[in-house]
Amino acid sequence: MKILKTSALFLLVQAFSPLVLLAQNQTGPTKGNDRFSVHAQTTVINQFKPSFTAPYSGPNSLSTQKESQTSITSTLFLGARLWRGASVWLDPEIAGGSGLSQVLGLADATNGETFRIGTLAPKLYVARLFFRQVIALSRTNTYGESNFNQLGGSLPERYLAFTVGKISAADYFDVNSYSHDPRTQFMSWALMSNGGWDYPANTRGYTPSVVAEYVSPRHELRYSFSLVPLVANGSTMNWDINKAGSHTLEYTHHHDLAGHPGSVRALGFFTTTNMGNYRESLILSTDKPVIENTRRYGRTKYGGGINLEQELTQQLGGFVRASWNDGHNETWVFTEIDHSASAGLVMKGTQWKRENDNLGLAFVASGISRPHRAYLAAGGQGFMLGDGQLNYASEHLTEVYYRAELAPDHLFLSGAYQLITNPGYNHDRHGPVNVLSVRVHARI
């Protein structure tokens, strides 16, 4: 049955192929300024978790039974140049499948391609729809190849850019060359972004936003205002911007150390909406508190993160991230993490004559605030966590992956292993939990 379902998903993906091939025949490679850009990607991830033992389980616990789940996403990236510096983009996407245990019981969820949705059936939706205007601040240009949501052509070395529409905030903020894209790099949610950043998005990871950018060879500054969902982990956005919304600000500095490039990014965010409060929910009930009963407008969540990446040799690079949020009010969008730290290394396969292969190893430790702990210990539930009780310990995840290039620039096969302890921050359910993954990623 699973094979039949996966085959059906692949048939849906093939509907995208003629459009991509047609666009390739019309545009082709060029060193001029492309008028159109058409690309596509498909990613299939299968994950298997053997059984593990635990003294108890709750409604939102990671299942102790062995399980296997498959996810698939397929995206078209359609862009057109309007006038100098202006472009418009449409990204239709199909997604289907599920994460392990319906993406419950883990803060450092194992598959960044899965969503917390109630259906496994593939669904077509608009992922991105936005307008972008670039304003040159220098006469010196660089050339950029056509890519996902990027037109091939010249781009000023220094510029202002303004983007309006439905986007993924992760396309603009907390970027990292070694750990950011679960389709080609590390898969865990807590490795693809700073875990403490409750980044604005709907259930599938997208939201209407306004983004302003200043970009130069050494310095970058970005600000965005984004809509947030009407309810935690919701799919319907709250358009009352007087009461709800999220602000994100990030500064990036690029540098060279002994001839090796690196970047440092500092991010801050502030979100306000009708959140519930952990302490207030415990005042109302010390037994199985319900945080939804305390929701009101005016509540906030704020925090920040540091993101470092550094090439160490021509074949080896590394990253470090650390993030924190205040943790007084409920997690609204991303995952139930109030502070997190991660580090990792990625090596190219040059030494074994596979220069476009990658071998990665990373570790992340995540935690939650004292009010958040007390709420879960009393039997409260978040939208991802809730074992019914809690013997608190930080959640740890180690991930190693190998990505092999099967067809140059177009087809990649990855294998990954994740080791997790204290899932859901619960030492009573220590594990360890083992997750094995196979990932296929195709791109045109």
Interval 347-386: pLDDT, tens: 999 999 999 999 999 999 999 999 999 999 999 999 999 9
> In this structure, are residues 409 and 444 in contact, taking their beta carbons and an 8 Å threshold?
no
User: What local confidence, expressed as pLDDT, does residue 144 receive?
Assistant: 86
Burial class (CB in 10 A: 0-12, 13-18, 19+), 353: exposed
Task: Report d(CA 439, CA 437) in Å as an integer.
Answer: 6
The residue type of 363 is F
* 413 in a structural domain: yes
* 69 in a structural domain: no
- Whether residue 118 is predicted with pLDDT greater than 80 in this model: the reply is no
The mean pLDDT value for 4-30 works out to 44
* 216 in a structural domain: yes
142/357: higher pLDDT: 357
User: What local confidence, expressed as pLDDT, does residue 32 receive?
Assistant: 73
- Whether residue 16 is predicted with pLDDT greater than 90 in this model: the reply is no
Q: Work out the percent of the chain whose per-residue pLDDT is above 70.
A: 92
> In this structure, are residues 393 and 422 in contact, taking their beta carbons and an 8 Å threshold?
yes
- Whether residue 268 is predicted with pLDDT greater than 70 in this model: the reply is yes
User: What local confidence, expressed as pLDDT, does residue 8 receive?
Assistant: 43
3-state secondary structure 161-228: EEEEEEECHHHCCCCCCCCCCCCCCCCCHHHHCCCCCCCCCCCCCCEEEEEEEEECCCEEEEEEEECC
Average of per-residue pLDDT values in the chain? 93
- Whether residue 43 is predicted with pLDDT greater than 50 in this model: the reply is yes
* 221 in a structural domain: yes
Burial class (CB in 10 A: 0-12, 13-18, 19+), 169: buried
User: What local confidence, expressed as pLDDT, does residue 393 receive?
Assistant: 98
Does this model's pTM top 0.85? My answer is: yes
Domain that includes residue 310, residue range: 45-57+101-110+127-138+156-438
Give me the residues paired with residue 167 across strands.
Answer: 207
* 263 in a structural domain: yes
* 299 in a structural domain: yes
* 90 in a structural domain: no
* 72 in a structural domain: no
Residue 272 three-state SS: strand
Exposure letters 275-300 (e unless 16+ CB within 10 A, then b): bbbbebbbeeeeeebebeebbeeebe
Report residue 7 as tokens: 């085959």
Of residues 358, 385, 355, 361, the one with CA closest to residue 373: 385
What domain count does the chain have? Answer: 1
Report residue 319 as tokens: 């990253």
The residue type of 70 is T
Distances (CA, A) of 304 to 51, 285, 418: 36, 31, 26
What CATH number does residue 426 fall under? 2.40.160
